[in-house]
Amino acid sequence: MSQMVWKEYIKALKNEVKPALGCTEPISLALATAKARSVVGDEEILSIVAKVSPNLMKNGMGVTVPGTGMKGLAIAAAAGAVCGDAEAGLEVLKNINADHVAVAKKLLDDNRVSVSIADIDKVLYSEAEIKTENHTARVCIADTHTKIVRIEKDGEVIFEEPIIEGKGHTKPYDLTGASIADIHDFCTNAPLEDIAFMKDAETINNALSVEGLTNDYGLHIGKTMMKQLDKGFIAQDLMTDIMIRTSAGSDARMGGATLPAMSNSGSGNQGISATMPVVVVADFLKASEEDRIRAQALSHLVAVYIHNTFPALSALCATSTAAMGAAAGMGWLLGDKKLDVINDAICSMIDDVSGIICDGAANSCAMKVSSTANSAFKAVIMALDNVRVTGQEGLVSPTVEESIRNLGSLVSDGMKQTDAQIIKIMINKSQC
């Protein structure tokens, strides 16, 4: 494989695997309000008017915003305006404290914050308009969670990047022609110094998992499962450890912990799902630091590669595709680095978890995270025994690349109406 292709893989990892504090959809809106606030200055906020795409609304309604103890886009918008660091990207709320929360809640209590659905053909979009006595600022974010495309001050455009309706953005890397085989080759043979930064994924997400096992966040699924070990309801084994430690990270993240997650493809849960199963298996095997780094790079890059076949936000729970990355990383560690094990595990997972829908970011995401982590390990165990879902069953084709394309086609085309119906149900429910 050419070094030019390897450079694209490194760029993909550096662009798609980033620290994020809180669920990235409400955080995207918080970033928009933080930027708008920086434009109008420190004058008293008279109003915050936010508009978001339907998919961003779906993923922002039920999730706890870090440091606030509250759920939803309104508190995210208020917090971003009160204390957001406009230059911190997905860590925009890293400086939040109790005093900030009190001010943000007062804005909500005074009915100065509104959030509605934007009339725009974008899967990922948020905008925020902040008014003070003397100034008005409007900031628009589109295509990715942190990509500011328009800034206005007092009706004058001071920054603009054209938005093409219905079109995605150009990514800063190119995975055209990529394959699982090429990714496997890269992660196995690339100079270690080129991918050493992937150690941070393990460090950051493991800390989040420990936090989730230490305190009660969200549905505290990981902690609850751990309690059942003593009762004998579940067994202490590798699969159970994978489920507990992975879901605990999601518990903490969705439950408002003020620790960052290392995200994947714009999602903290995807990052946790790609990271923690590999960490648990590496711990079990007492793997070398080099093997741990290479397995993390493989997991995250496979997750990015598969996720690139469909929209950033969709009806499919993307922890499933992130866990396919984890299956690759675990298969590499457990299967003597053999490509066939990875291919077979991914194919089996496509048949197993392709039906898990995304019904909005919420504490319950940790349940889906535990399910997809379980599926990943199950698929690896099957592959180690030379067993996989065959190309004659369901979405699965004879090759892994064909199977991934089938999944991408299902999500991009076949699940559009499903996504629309989920959003309709959620919005109608919130109005009841």
Q: Which of 277, 274, 353 is nearest to 317 (CA)?
A: 353
pLDDT in tens, 98-146: 999 999 999 999 999 999 999 998 999 999 999 999 999 999 999 999 9
* Tokens, residue 64: 């706890």
Tell me the CA end-to-end span of the chain in Å, nearest whole number. 56
Is the separation of the CB atoms in 5 and 288 below 8 Å? no
Domain with CATH 3.30.1330 in the chain: 19-160
What is the pLDDT at residue 38?
Answer: 97
> SS3 breakdown of the chain: % helix, strand, coil, rounded to 5?
55, 10, 35
The DSSP letter of residue 362 is B
Is the separation of the CB atoms in 207 and 259 below 8 Å? yes
Is the separation of the CB atoms in 227 and 335 below 8 Å? no
Sheet strand arrangement including 148-153: 113-117, 47-52, 125-131, 136-142, 148-153, 156-160
Handedness of CA 310, 144, 265, 422 (dihedral sign): negative
CA dist., res. 202 & res. 191, Å (int): 19
* Of 13-22, 118-127, 155-164, 312-321, minimum mean pLDDT range: 155-164
The number of CA neighbours under 13 Å toward the Cβ of 67 is: 27
Residue with tokens 């290392």: 262
Which residue type occupies 275? T
What is the pLDDT at residue 303?
Answer: 98
pTM of this structure: 0.94
Between 431 and 312, the higher pLDDT residue: 312
* Tokens, residue 247: 């879901």
Topology of 180-430 in CATH? 2-methylcitrate dehydratase PrpD (1.10.4100)
Domain with CATH 1.10.4100 in the chain: 180-430
Topology of 19-160 in CATH? 60s Ribosomal Protein L30; Chain: A; (3.30.1330)
CA dist., res. 144 & res. 148, Å (int): 9
Is the separation of the CB atoms in 384 and 335 below 8 Å? yes
The DSSP element (H or E) to which 160 belongs, if any, is: strand 156-160
pLDDT in tens, 373-410: 999 999 999 999 999 999 999 999 999 999 999 999 99
pLDDT at 300 over 70: yes
pLDDT at 1 over 60: no
